C-alpha cells in the first residue's frame, strides 16, 4: 500500500471518552461501542507523512479535548486557523454534567499555502443530531467548497464517500497509517513511571 500525499485531511479522532451512565442510575459511565485512542497515541499518528506541503486539516473535537486538539494539530504539522462549531438542537438528557453537550467543533488548520475557493460567512452551523459520533455530510461538502476538488482523505472513517480516500478500522483503508511501535513503548514507560 503506497502512501499518497493529500491537500485535504478530514479527521474525527476516536477521543477517549465514555458514553455516560445509564439514565437515572447515578452509576459509572459506560464505554463507547468502539475502540478509543489516547491523546498521545493520536498525536503520534504519522499524519505528517501523508500531508502535502500545502494542506488543510479539518479536525473534529469535543469540549473536553479542545486544548488537546490544538496540540494534535501542531503535532501533525498544522497551525489552527479557526474553530467551526456544529450546533445541535436540544435532545432530552444528553451527555454532560452541569451543561448538556449540544456542540461539537471542527478545527480548520493550515500547512503551507492553499487559496480558499470560497468565503463562508459564519463559523457555526445548525444541524440535527445524527447517530452517535456521526457527522453531517454537509461538512464534507463545505470542505470541498472551501478547498476545491483536491486529493483528500478522511481519517477514522466509518464509511467510504465518493471522491475521498479513507483510513479507519471500520473501512477498507486506502493507506497504511500506524503509530510506530517504539513510540507506543515509550508512552507506556512514561505512564508507568508517573
Q: Find where cell 459511565 sits.
A: 29
Cβ contact 87:102 at 8 Å: yes
- pLDDT confidence of residue 170: 86
pLDDT in tens, 45-83: 999 999 999 999 999 999 889 999 999 999 999 999 999
> Which residues contact residue 174 at a Cβ distance below 8 angstroms, ignoring those fewer than 6 apart?
1, 4, 153, 165, 166, 167
- pLDDT confidence of residue 35: 75
Q: Residue 148's pLDDT band (boundaries 50, 70, 90)?
A: very high
Residue 34 has pLDDT above 90, yes or no: no
Mean residue pLDDT of the chain comes to 82
How far, in Å, CA of 12 to CA of 10, rounded? Answer: 7
| pTM (predicted TM-score) | 0.82
How far, in Å, CA of 143 to CA of 26, rounded? Answer: 40
Q: Which residue has the higher pLDDT, 32 or 194?
A: 32
pLDDT in tens, 113-147: 999 999 999 998 887 776 666 788 989 999 999 99
> Maximum distance among all alpha carbons in the chain?
51
Residues forming beta bridges with residue 166, ordered by sequence position? 154
Q: Which residue has the higher pLDDT, 22 or 135?
A: 135
Q: What is the helix, strand, coil percentage profile of the chain, to 5?
A: 25, 25, 50
What is the domain partition of the chain in residue ranges?
Answer: 6-193
Q: What grid cell was written down for 171? A: 473501512
CATH architecture entry for 6-193: 3-Layer(aba) Sandwich (3.40)
pLDDT in tens, 9-18: 999 998 876 5
Q: Residue 182's pLDDT band (boundaries 50, 70, 90)?
A: very low
- Please report which residue ranges of the chain form alpha helices under DSSP H: 39-43, 66-75, 137-147, 181-193
CA 82 from chain centre, in angstroms, equals 15
Cβ contact 61:12 at 8 Å: no
What φ, ψ does residue 181 adopt, rounded to 5°? -55, -40
- pLDDT confidence of residue 190: 39
Amino acid at each position: 500500500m503506497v502512501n499518497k500525499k493529500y491537500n485535504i485531511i478530514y479527521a474525527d479522532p476516536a477521543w477517549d471518552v465514555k458514553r455516560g451512565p445509564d439514565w437515572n442510575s447515578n452509576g459509572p459511565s459506560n464505554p463507547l461501542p468502539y475502540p478509543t485512542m489516547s491523546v498521545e497515541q493520536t498525536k503520534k499518528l504519522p499524519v505528517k507523512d501523508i500531508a502535502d506541503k500545502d494542506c488543510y486539516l479539518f479536525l473534529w473535537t469535543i469540549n473536553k479535548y479542545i486544548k488537546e486538539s490544538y496540540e494534535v494539530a501542531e503535532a501533525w504539522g498544522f497551525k489552527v486557523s479557526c474553530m467551526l462549531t456544529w450546533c445541535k438542537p436540544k435532545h432530552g438528557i444528553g451527555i454532560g454534567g452541569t451543561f448538556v453537550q449540544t456542540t461539537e467543533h471542527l478545527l480548520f488548520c493550515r500547512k503551507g499555502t492553499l487559496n480558499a475557493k470560497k468565503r463562508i460567512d459564519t463559523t457555526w452551523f445548525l444541524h440535527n443530531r445524527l447517530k452517535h459520533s456521526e457527522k453531517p455530510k454537509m461538512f464534507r461538502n463545505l470542505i470541498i467548497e472551501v478547498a476545491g476538488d483536491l486529493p483528500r482523505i478522511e481519517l477514522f472513517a466509518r464509511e467510504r464517500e465518493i471522491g475521498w480516500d479513507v483510513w479507519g478500522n471500520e473501512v477498507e483503508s486506502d493507506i497504511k497509517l500506524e503509530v510506530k511501535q517504539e513510540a507506543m513503548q515509550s508512552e507506556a514507560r512514561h505512564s508507568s513511571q508517573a
